[in-house]
A and B are shown apart, each in its own frame.
Chain A
C-alpha cells in the first residue's frame, strides 16, 4: 500500500492579490518547477465553476491532485480567497487512495479559515509548512496521520486501499479462511460476522451457516461478502464424495513454485502424520479427471491418501485454482409447445443451486431427472 501511493510532494497554492497564482509553500522545497506550475496552474487555482472538485492533472511525468477552494467575502482583497492544498506523485502512481485525503484536507482548511481565519492570517498560515512536512512523512511511512492544528482542532487522515468489488455470494457457496482463523481479532468485526465466524469451516455452505448460526440468510451473505472484500475468506463449492473435479493449467505451479508446494503439503497432510510427499499429492490432483468422483479417487489412490486428507486436498486445490469443480446443469429440451417452460432446468442453474433452493438431495434430484426423457445434463 505504501509503495503504490507514495506522495512526492505536498504544496499549498493560492491566488495572491498582486502576484496572481503562486505556490506559497511546498515540501520538499522546489519540487515543483516554475515550468510545471505555469503549465498546470489553470487546474490548481481555477475558475469558479471548478471549485470543490477533485482535480488530478498529469504533466511532465508528474501527477498533481488538488481540490481548489474559493471563499467569498468582502474582507478579502478581490472579495475572495482562493487556495489549494494538493499532493504530487509520480505519473505512474495509482492515486485513487489519495483522493479522499485531499478532499478531507481541503474541507479541514476551509473550516479552519471560516472559524478562525487560519489562512488569511499571515502568522497562522506559517504553521502550514511544518504541518505539511509532518503529513508527508507520516502518510508515506504509515499511511495514517493524526495531527493537532491548534488547541481545539486535530486532523485525522488515513489511506484506504481500494479493492475490487467482491462477487455476489450465493447460498450454495462455501466460505473458507485464507489464513489461520486465529489470525483475526474477533472483536474488530461486526456482531453478525462475529456470530457466524465459528461456523465458517470451509465445508459449511451459506445456507447451512445461516441455519446453524440462526442468522438470516441475506445477512450471512452480506457478512461473508464483506469478508470476501477484505480477502479474509475465499469461496469454494460444496464438498461431496460424488463431486467431480478436473485440473487447470495452474496445477503445474505446484511443481514450479516452492512456496506454494510448502503451503500445500502442510495444508493437506493429515493431522499427526509425517508430511506427505509432493509426488503423492501431485498424483492425486492429476487423478482428478472428468468422470472421476472423489470416491473413485479414494479407491484408486488409497496408498497416496494414507497421509493426505482428501477434503483438505480438494479445498486447497479450489482455493488456489489448481483444480476446478465440474457442475451438472440440467436442461429441459422443449419438445412440446404446450408444456410449461422450465424455470430451473434451463442450463443456468447447477445441481448445487437447485438442491439448495428446493431442499432436495443430489440423489433425489438425480432420480427425478433420470426418469425424464426430456432432460439432458451438461457438465462444465
Chain B
C-alpha cells in the first residue's frame, strides 16, 4: 500500500482534476448559451424595449436613472471595487452572465438594438465590452406605406405604428463564430414567423401593445408605491409571445433544441449543434460535421441514437411520410443503398433525410454491422467506473458489466471473434445489441484497412525518385462521386446532386472479357503507365505479377492504393469479395504497406478531432 500522505495528495489532486474538467464543460456551456433574449421595436412611438429575459434582479426605476443614485443592490458593471459604509472593499467576484447584460438599462438597449431601417433584413452584430448582441432587424412595412393605410377608410385594419422590430440574443463576446451565426439564424426564423403573423392578423402589434401597457402600469405603480418590480415578470402570464421567447431562451441554455409555436400557429424549430453534438467533453465543430455529411457514401449506414418509438413520438404531426418510413425501416446492419430500396425512396432523399437526422443529433453514420467489422475502444470513450454509462448499461443488460465489456475491446476485435459460436442465438443477438449500444454511446471506433503503394527503392539514387513524384500526384483524382452539397438548417435546400451507381462507373469487371486478350494487355499497360519505370519494373518482377489476371486486377485497383480508400470501399466500388482482395494484398505485399485505422470521414462521431 502506498503511504497515506501520498494517497491523500492523490485524492485531492483528482478532485481538482474532476473539478477542472467539470469547469471546462461549464465554461463551454456558457460560451454556447445566450445570456439574454431581448425584443425591441421602433415605430411612431419611438424605440421601445418590449421584453427581455432573464429579468434584472432589481429593476431600476426609470426616474432614478437621471439622478444616478445607487441603490445598495445595484450591480457595479465597471468592475470597480465596491465600498460599503464600513469602508469594506472586498473584491467583486467575476461578473456572471446575467450581470453583464443587467448593467444595460431598458432604454439604452432600446436605443442601440432598434436600428435604423437601412440595417434591416441583414445580420445585426454589435459588441460592447464583454457582450455581443446578434439579431435580424426586420421591417414590418415600408415607412411611406404608413401614410397610405392612414387614409385607408377600411374599418377592419388598425393603423400599425410599428415600423421595424428585432429579436436580439445577447451572448458572451468570445462565443464561437458558428454559435453567433446559429443565433442569428434563429433570430431570423422567429422574425419571419412574426412578420407573417403580423401581416395576417397584426399579431405582433397586439402583443407589443400588451407589453407596453403592462410596463406603463408597473411604472406608475412603482412611482406611487416606491417598491421596485420587474415589469417583465408581469408580462409573462399575459403575453404568449413573451412566453415563447422565454421558452426559446431556456431551451437554448439547456438542450439546445427550440420548438415554439408563434401565435399557436406557426412553428419555429431550431437546434444548436454545439449543444447537441458533444462527445465526452468535446463538441463536434459544425464545419467538421458538415464536411463529414458531404462525404458519406451509399455503403455507410444510419444508426439511430434513440429508439424508433421515441424518435417517432418526437416528430410533429405534419412531418414528411418519407421521414417516418425511413425511421421505421432503418437498421444498423443495412447500408443506405439497401435502405433506399427497402423504404422505397430515392437514394438522394435518403441522403438528405439522413443528414437531417444527424444534424439534429438523432442519428450517427457508421459502417453497417457485419461479422468482419473490427472494433476498438475509442480514445475518448468514457470508461470511468462512476460514469452514468456504466449504470445505464447495467440497467439495459442485466448481469453484464460495462467495464468488462469494454476491456474486451482493448485490442481490436472483430464481431466474429467477439461472439462465441457456442452461444445460443438469443445470447448472440444480445451481444450485437451491446455493440450497438456502445456505438450509440460513442465508446467504440471501427478500424479499416488501408493500403499504400510504396516500392522499395532501387540501387541508384535510393528513395529520391519515389519521393519526388508520389503516387498521389501522378494518379489523377478519380472522383468516386457521391451526392454532395447538402444544406443544413436553412429553409431552402435545392442543390444539384450528381448520383452515380459506383459499380457501373468504376468497375468494369462484367464488361471486360476474361483471359489474356490483347485488349486486356493494353489496358494493364495503360494503367501501369502512370508509374515510374523503376516502380513498374519492381512490380513486374513480383512472382504474382506473372499471372495476368492478378496483374490486371492490381493495375485496375492502383488508384486506390494511396492510403485513402479502405478495403470495404474498394469491395463496394469494384464489387469484389473480401477474400479476393485480401489475397491480392498478400500477393503484392512487397510493394504495399498496409495499416489499420479509423475512417476519418465518420470517425468524428465517435472521437471528435482535437
Contact = CB atoms under 8 A, between A and B. Distances in A.
- B-side binding surface: helix, strand, loop or mixed? mixed
Contacts of B385: 331-334, 342, 345-347
B383 A55 contact: no
Given A282-B454, A378-B403, A380-B378, A249 B384 contact: no
Main secondary structure of the interface of A (DSSP, over half): mixed
A261 interface: yes
B116 A279 contact: no
A367 to B, nearest CB: 15
B104 A54 contact: no
A340 to B, nearest CB: 11
A43 B112 contact: yes
Interface in B140-198: none
Interface in A286-314: 286, 289-291
Contacts of A155: none
Given A42-B111, A42-B112, A357-B13, A289 B381 contact: no
Interface in B353-380: 376-379
Interface stretch (A45-53, A72-80, A174-182, A193-201): A45-53
B381 A50 contact: no
Interface in A259-283: 261, 275-279, 282-283
A53 B376 CA distance: 53
A189 interface: no
Nearest to A274: B462
Contacts of B466: 278-279
A248 interface: yes
B381 A279 contact: no
Given A278-B467, A380-B383, A247 B595 contact: yes
Interface in A29-55: 35, 38-39, 42-43, 47, 49-50, 52-55
A252 B403 contact: no
B598 interface: yes
A277 B463 contact: yes
Given A290-B376, A379-B411, A380-B379, A53 B14 contact: no
A38 B598 CA distance: 55
B283 to A, nearest CB: 15
Contacts of B383: 329, 331, 347-348, 378, 380
Contacts of A261: 467
B442 interface: no
B119 A59 contact: yes
A332 B385 CA distance: 8
10 contacts: A251-B563, A251-B595, A252-B564, A256-B472, A258-B470, A282-B452, A331-B383, A345-B385, A378-B377, A380-B410
Given A331-B385, A346-B384, 12 more contacts: A49-B108, A50-B112, A52-B78, A248-B598, A255-B472, A291-B411, A331-B403, A342-B385, A347-B383, A357-B6, A357-B10, A377-B407
Interface of A: 35, 38-39, 42-43, 47, 49-50, 52-59, 168, 246-249, 251-252, 255-256, 258, 261, 275-279, 282-283, 285-286, 289-291, 321, 324, 329, 331-334, 342-349, 357-360, 376-380
Interface of B: 2, 6-7, 9-11, 13-14, 20, 78, 104-105, 108, 111-112, 115-116, 118-119, 123-129, 376-379, 381, 383-387, 401, 403-404, 406-407, 410-412, 450, 452, 454-457, 462-463, 466-467, 470-472, 562-564, 593-600, 603, 610
